[in-house]
Amino acid sequence: MPYIIGLNSGSSFDGIDAVLCSIEFAPDGHPARPKFLNALTVNWPEELQPLIMRAFENELSLFEMTRVNYAAGAVYAEATNALLAKAGLKPEEIAVVGYDGQTVYQEPPEQSKIAEYCAGGNQSLVERWTKFGFPCGFFIAESGVVAALTNITTVTQFRPVDHALGGSGAPLMQYLDFVAFRNDGPTVTLNIGGIANLQLADADRSKMMAFDTGPGNVMIDHVMKARLGMSYDKDGETAAKGQIIQPLLAELQSNHFFSRKPPRSAWRLDFGSSYADQILEQYASASTEDLVATLTMFTASSIERALVDFVLPKSQITKIIASGGGTRNTTLLRFIRQRLAPRGIQTCLSDEFGLPAAYKEAIKFATLAFATTHNLANNIPAASGASLFAVLGKMTMAPRVAISEPHCVNAEQGTKTV
């Protein structure tokens, strides 16, 4: 049973989670549910934090971004090495490290343009991105740096292949959910990071769904930092003291994002700092507590809306399994439960299934990387909109597996020599 490591730094940009798991194959040939073994979280170095925040706003030059990309890889390597030390393991005991990198930019697919491209029989590959709205993204933390400085084979960049096939490339939780819950009947999971997403997992992958519901923590975090100098609302304490500003909530719920149908993905272009700053300016006289309470309810209502509009018409469920950093926000969880309980839906945490809620995203990348090393299709076309099953991820081999003196074959004698 090989050990695998997964790393994650999500859209909340609140640290890098590193998890150690083991995984084996089930009788049906797919991976079995991963077994969580150990974990830790490291903070981004203070000297890198402002640079990456500037990258989110497209304020870094290409030259600056290049160096930040390598430095981010070094941070991921340090997190991996720290986890190895904590677990008492050596690099050669780890089969693979998997991570996607820190998302800096992401464009969702324009489905109408993609449909036009496909219907017209267009043969130009270049025009997929110059004219016809195929998705794209940019993700940092150079895998060559990670593989070199950990001496472990590394798999990263899971989204581009799905993008090239017309898929959203986000969210990516659906493969882990298929692996973990395919034998449990239709199962709905919720992941709350900077952006929140829902997944409908099923043993029949053609019936699966995965899409972003809207903001998770990203707008809450922005207001907390702008108003109080704090990086997030710890335990939802600020929101718990506030009252919902109903006109603001109605305005937020009319955001153009909600006109999109799954598969859909969101990024800072939808709910980022510019949008949050507009709200802060418009409601400058509102208390921080009321603003944060309203944004927290906005996240909860967006989750309910997505569930009602897109999941419940396809599958009657009684339970939703939540994970992600947002589950630490007790006020947000309370709002979600208040909205879903009248519908007969219980909200529980993925911890109950052996997948710690705080680390499930990192476990996801470990599982994706494990599949990549075995050439297993680890995308879900029905969920992402991709045209084909594919093996996602780019592999960088560990230096320790390099063959510096290859064997050669004596053609006349048919023998190998070194």
Structure confidence at residue 272 as a pLDDT band (50, 70, 90):
confident
pLDDT of residue 395: 98
pTM score of the predicted model: 0.92
Asked if the model's pLDDT at residue 368 lies above 60, the reply is yes
Closest Cα to residue 101, out of 8, 4, 18?
A: 8
Per DSSP, helices labelled H in 185-329 are: 218-228, 237-240, 246-253, 268-271, 273-282, 288-306
According to the model, what pLDDT value does residue 191 have? 96
Say yes or no to pLDDT of 37 above 90.
yes
Beta-strand ranges (E) seen in 9-151 are 16-22, 35-42, 94-98, 102-107, 136-140
Confidence of residue 410 (pLDDT cuts 50, 70, 90): low
Among 117-126, 147-156, 261-270, 409-418, the least confident range: 409-418
Average pLDDT over residues 127-149: 96
Average pLDDT in the 196-205 region? Answer: 95
CA distances from 68 to 41, 55, 142, 160, 394 (A): 20, 9, 9, 20, 20
Report the alpha-carbon distance of residue 94 to residue 113 in Å, rounded: 43
Residue 209: is its pLDDT beyond 70? Answer: yes
Q: What is the largest CA-CA distance in the chain?
A: 88
d(CA 50, CA 199): 33
Q: How many of the other CB atoms lie within 10 Å of CB of 202? A: 23
All structural domains of the chain: 3-182+358-401 (3.30.420.40), 187-353 (3.30.420.40)
Q: What is the mean pLDDT of residues 193-222?
A: 95
What is the percent of the chain where pLDDT is above 90? 86
Q: Considering the chain, what is the average pLDDT of its residues? A: 94
Look at residue 39 and tell me whether its pLDDT is greater than 90. Answer: yes
- Name, in order, each residue with C-beta under 8 angstroms of 5's C-beta and a sequence gap of 6 or more: 18, 19, 20, 21, 80, 83, 94, 96, 97, 98, 152, 366
Predicted local distance difference test score (pLDDT) of residue 144: 98
Instruction: Provide the pLDDT for residue 406.
Output: 83
Q: Which DSSP string corresponds to 345-395?
A: -EEEEGGGGT--GGGHHHHHHHHHHHHHHTT-----HHHH--SS-----EE
Question: In sequence order, what are the beta bridge partners of 106?
Answer: 137
Other CB atoms within 10 Å distance of the CB of residue 169: 30
Q: Which residues pair with 196 in a beta bridge?
A: 192, 214
Helix (H) or strand (E) holding 51: helix 49-56
Record the tokens describing residue 360, joined without a space.
Answer: 């499930």
Query: In angstroms, rounded to a whole number, what is the distance separating the alpha carbons of residues 299 and 310?
Result: 17
